[in-house]
Structure 1
Amino acid sequence: MKSNNEIGLFIKNYVEDALGDFSELTWAYVVLSKSDMSLNFYATNYPEDWVKIYKENRLYYTDPVVITARNRLTPFEWDKGLIVNSGYHYTGLFDQAEKFDLIKGSTFVIHDFNNNFATLTFIITQNSKPEIVKALVQKKGDISLLLASIHETYLALAYPPTENINKVDKKTVFTKRENEVLYWYSVGKTYQETSIILGIKLRTVKFHMSNIVKKMGVTNARHAVRFGIEHGLIKPEI
Structure 2
Amino acid sequence: MADQQAFFDLLDIMETEKLVEPKRFFDLMRSTFSIANLLYLDVDVPTAGFFIHRLHHTFSARSLTTYVDKRYQRIDPILRMTLGSVRPVDWATARKLHPDSEPLFSAATQLGLGLEGVTLPLATHTRRLAFLAIQSDIPADEWPAYRRCHLRDFQLLANLFHASLLESDSRIELTEQCAKALTHRETEVLGWAAAGKSYWEIGTILGISERTVRFFMTNTRRKLNVVSNTQAVAQAVRRDLIPTF
Change (3 A) 1:16 1:114: farther
Deviation of 1:15 (Å): 3.3
Distance 2:71 2:229 in 1: 43
Deviation of 1:151 (Å): 1.4
Change (3 A) 1:115 1:98: same
Change (3 A) 1:21 1:127: farther
What is the aligned partner in structure 2 of residue 38 from structure 1? 50
Other structure's SS at 1:73 match: coil
What is the aligned partner in structure 1 of residue 177 from structure 2? 163
What is the aligned partner in structure 2 of residue 60 from structure 1? 73
Other structure's SS at 1:168 match: coil
Distance 1:57 1:106 in 2: 22
Deviation of 1:20 (Å): 4.8
Deviation of 1:169 (Å): 6.4
Other structure's SS at 2:86 match: coil
Other structure's SS at 1:74 match: coil
CA contact (8 A) 2:35 2:137 kept: no
CA-to-aligned-CA distance 1:61-88 (integer Å, 9 cap, x gap): 431111111132111312286256xx56
Structure 1 unmatched ranges of 5 or more: 1-8, 175-227, 233-238
Task: Work out whether 1:72 is the aligned partner of 2:72.
Answer: no
TM-score, scaled relative to structure 2: 0.54
CA-to-aligned-CA distance 1:13-60 (integer Å, 9 cap, x gap): 233235651254222112233334515122111122101222344433
Deviation of 1:92 (Å): 2.1
CA contact (8 A) 2:35 2:136 kept: no
What is the aligned partner in structure 1 of residue 193 from structure 2? none
Task: Work out whether 1:29 is the aligned partner of 2:58.
Answer: no
Equivalent residue in structure 1 for 2:155, among 112, 137, 144: 144
For 1:44, the aligned partner's letter is: H
What is the aligned partner in structure 2 of residue 222 from structure 1? none
CA contact (8 A) 2:89 2:120 kept: yes
Distance 1:35 1:58 in 2: 18
Structure 1 or 2: more helix by fraction: 2
Other structure's SS at 2:163 match: helix
Distance 1:127 1:58 in 2: 28
TM-score, scaled relative to structure 1: 0.55
Task: Work out whether 1:121 is the aligned partner of 2:133.
Answer: yes
Q: Which has the larger radius of gyration?
A: 2
Change (3 A) 1:113 1:126: closer
Change (3 A) 1:156 1:125: same
CA contact (8 A) 1:64 1:83 kept: no
Identity of aligned residues (%): 15
Alignment RMSD (CA, Å): 3.7
CA contact (8 A) 2:109 2:115 kept: yes
Other structure's SS at 2:87 match: coil
Distance 2:155 2:91 in 1: 17
CA-to-aligned-CA distance 1:88-123 (integer Å, 9 cap, x gap): 622222221221224221121113126322221222
Deviation of 1:171 (Å): 5.9
Other structure's SS at 1:123 match: strand
For 1:153, the aligned partner's letter is: S
Structure 2 unmatched ranges of 5 or more: 1-19, 179-222, 240-245
Other structure's SS at 1:89 match: helix
Distance 1:47 1:171 in 2: 44
CA contact (8 A) 2:120 2:155 kept: yes
Distance 1:28 1:124 in 2: 12
